[in-house]
Chain A
Amino acid sequence: MLQFARFAATRAAMALITLTIVSLVVFTLMELVPGDCAERYLSYKNTQGSAITLADIDAERARLGLDRPFLTRWVSWLTGAFQGDFGSSCILRVDIAQLLGAKFWISLAICLGALTLAYAIAIPVGIISAASRNAAMNNVLRLVSYLGLAMPNFLLALMIMLVSTVYFGETLTGLFSPEYKDAPWSWAKLGDLLKHAWLPIFILGWSATAFALQTVRALMSDEIGKLYVTAAAARGIHGTRLLWRYPARHALGPIVNSLGFDLNRIFNELPIVALILTLTEAGSLLLEALARSNDQQLAGAIIFLLTASIVTLNFFTDILLAVIDPRVRKSILR
C-alpha cells in the first residue's frame, strides 16, 4: 500500500513536470506570434482613431511587464496559471479567468460526459460482439459503427435540430434557458444545464462511441484468439466467466491507456457542434482567439487548461492501469 502511494506520488510529480514543460512550449508559441500584447492593443486603439506613438507602446510594454526577460515572464505566467490567474486578454482587456468563467469547465464536463457515454456503450457491446458468433448482430453493429464514423457531427446535430424543431416545435439550442443564462450558479441552474447538455453529449458521444466500439472489438478479438484463453477453456472454464475474467479483462489495458487521447479528440470536435447548437463553451473561444482576434493570452490560457485536463486524466489512467495490470504495477514497485 505504501509502495502504491509512492507510485502515485511519483506519477503526480511527473504529471506536474509534464505540465510545466508543456507550459513552456505553450508560452513560447504565444511569444512566437508576431507582435506582443502592447502593440496589438494599441494598434486596436489606433483603428478606433487614437494617435499612437512609439513611446506609448513602450509605456504600455512596461505596464504589462513585457520588458522583462522571457524566462521571468514565463515563470510569473506559470505561477499565475497554477493559481488560476491567466492575466488579461490582449484585446478585450478583461481578466481571462472572468472571461472564461465556467465556460471551460462546462466544455470539459461535456467532453467527459461524451467520453463516459462512449465507453459505457462501447465496452460491453464491443466485448459481446467480438465474442458472439451471431453474424447478423455483428453486421448491424458494424453498420451503426460505420455510420457513426462516417457521419459528421455537425450533420447529426443539424438533423436532430431539424427534427425537433419541425416535429416537436422545440429548439434544442444553447446550454441554458433564457431565465438562467445570466443568473448566478444555483441547483436550479445546474439542473437546467443538465437538461440542455444531453444533446451535445449525445452528438459528441455518437462518433466517439463508434470509434471506441471498433477499438474495443478489435482488441477483444485479438485477445480472444490468444493461447491463455484456449488454455483456460481447456481447464473447463466456460461461459461468461471465461469471457470476462480472461480476454475482456486483458483487453481493457490499452483502452484505459487511450482515454487521454480520446478526450483531446472530443474536445477538438466540440467547437463545430457548439457553433450549431449555439453553445457558449471554451473550444470555440479558443478558435476565435487563435484565428480571428489573435489573442495570445486567451489562447494560451485555454490550451494550458486543456493540457492540464489531459495530463490529469492521464495521471488517473496510469493509476487505474497499475491497478488492473500487475505487469505495470510490478515494473514500478520494487
Chain B
Amino acid sequence: MSLIDVRNLTLQFDTDEGRITAVDNVSFSLAPGEVMGLVGESGSGKSVTAKALMKLNARNGHYSDDSQITLHLDSGPVDVMSLKRPRDMAVIRGGAISMIFQEPMASFAPAMTVGSQMVEQLLIHSNMNKRQAKELSIEMLDRVGISDASTRFNQYAFEMSGGMRQRAMIAMALSTKPKLLIADEPTTALDVTIQAQVIDLMKDLVDEFKMGIIFITHDLGVVAQTADKVAVMYLGRMIEQGPVREVIRNPRHPYTQGLIDALPKLDDLGAPLRAIPGDIPSPLERPSGCVFHTRCSQIIGDICKTHLPAWADTGADHRTACHLCHQGASA
C-alpha cells in the first residue's frame, strides 16, 4: 500500500496581477521506503507541490475542489485537504511529515539554540518530557555525525558550519520519526564534498527508518544517485515520471531530454552544453495547450498549441505527457 496518494492537486494563488496557477493537476503516489526525485527548473512548482502536502503555502493559495491528498498512517488514512485548523495539521506537520529546506541557516530561528528548537518539536509530537526530549535530540545529533553533540545542542545555528547545520536540520526532521521526509534542495547550498556526505547520510537514514522521501532538486545527477523514481515538473504540471534509470537513460519528453543534455558530461568534456532555449514563461502568461510548447524544439503542429497532451505509457511504470508519444503509438 502506498504511503501518500496525491490526486489532481491544483493550487492557485491570488496576486495583485491576477490568479496564477502554481500547481496544475498533479498526481503521484509514493510507497514507504521509496525515494522520489521531483525535478524541474526554478519556478516549475516543485517546492509549492511539496509544501502543499502539508498545506504550508501562503494565505492567498486556493486548492481546487477535486484536489486530494491522502496519507496512509498506522492509525488509518488522513485526508490532508480536510484539515483546516493549524492545531489539526500539527499531526502531519512535523509529525507524519518532516521537511528539510534548502537554506539550513535560514531554517533555524537565529536567536534560539538548535537544541531548544529540537526539544520544542518533540514535546509537540510525542509524550516525552523535556529531559527525554533533550536526550533523544542529542542522540539524533550524534547519529547524523555531529561530534560533541551535547555541546552543539546548546549552540545557535550561526555557530555551526553549513554542512553541520544541514546535518542538524536532518537530525531535527528525523527525530519525530516521520513517515515522509520532504527534502527541498537540501544540498544546493552546500559545497560538493559536503553535498556527497549529506546525501550518503540521508540514504543510510532512509534505509534505517523506512520512510518515504520526496527529494526536490534541479540536479539530475543527485536524483540519479538517490532516487528510485523521478517526476519531472514544468510550469506546475508533471510531464514525465518513471523509474529513475529508465527516465534518465530513455527520456521521452523533450523537456526531460533538454534537462539531461544540459548536464556537463565528465567523459566527454569537449561536448558543448546544450541549454534549453528560452525562459520559463511568467505564470501570468500560461501557454495554452502543452505548457512546454513555447520552448519545445520538437513541436509537431497546432495540436501542441491547442491541446493538453494526455499521459502515454512509455515503458514499465514510465509515463510521459507529450503528443509525440501519442503520435508514435497511433502510427
Contact = CB atoms under 8 A, between A and B. Distances in A.
B87 A235 contact: no
A246 B103 contact: no
Q: Is the interface of B mostly helix, strand, loop or mixed?
A: mixed
Nearest to A324: B111
A313 interface: no
Contacts of A63: none
Nearest to B57: A230
A133 interface: yes
B124 A237 contact: yes
Interface stretch (B38-46, B92-100, B136-144): B92-100
B92 to A, nearest CB: 8
A326 B109 CA distance: 11
Contacts of A133: 59
Contacts of B108: 228, 231
A228 B121 contact: no
Given A237-B121, A237-B124, A228 B90 contact: no
B120 interface: yes
Bin chain A's interface residue count: 20 to 34
Interface string A224-263: 0011101111111111001001100110010000000000
A325 interface: yes
A330 interface: yes
Given A227-B103, A239-B86, A239-B87, A234 B54 contact: yes
Contact of B156 (A232, A249, A250, A330): A330
B174 to A, nearest CB: 12
B13 interface: no
Interface in B80-117: 86-87, 89-91, 93-95, 98-99, 101, 103, 106-113, 117
Nearest to B121: A235
B56 interface: yes
A235 B111 contact: no
A228 B109 CA distance: 5
Interface residues of B, number: 33
B93 A233 contact: yes
26 contacts: A227-B101, A227-B107, A228-B107, A228-B109, A228-B110, A232-B117, A233-B86, A233-B93, A234-B93, A235-B98, A235-B117, A236-B124, A237-B90, A238-B86, A238-B87, A238-B89, A239-B87, A242-B86, A249-B109, A250-B109, A250-B110, A324-B111, A325-B110, A325-B111, A327-B158, A330-B156
Contacts of A239: 86-87
Interface on chain A toward B: helix, strand, loop, or mixed SS? helix
B56 A233 contact: yes
- Of A235, A239, A242, A324, which is in contact with the most chain B CB atoms at under 10 Å from its CB? A235
Contacts of A245: 109, 112
A262 to B, nearest CB: 22
B165 to A, nearest CB: 12
A250 B90 contact: no
Nearest to A249: B111
Nearest to B95: A236
B125 interface: yes
Query: Which 5 pairs of residues, A with B, have the shortest CB-CB distance?
Result: A238-B86, A236-B94, A235-B94, A236-B90, A231-B107
Nearest to B97: A234
A328 to B, nearest CB: 9
Nearest to A225: B58
Interface string A15-50: 000000000000000000000000000000000000
B89 A231 contact: no
B56 A327 contact: no
Q: Which of A133, A238, A250 neighbours the largest number of chain B CB atoms within 10 Å of its CB?
A: A238
A243 to B, nearest CB: 11
Contacts of B56: 230, 233-234
B54 A250 contact: no
Given A235-B121, A326-B113, 8 more contacts: A228-B108, A233-B56, A234-B94, A234-B99, A235-B94, A236-B89, A326-B156, A327-B158
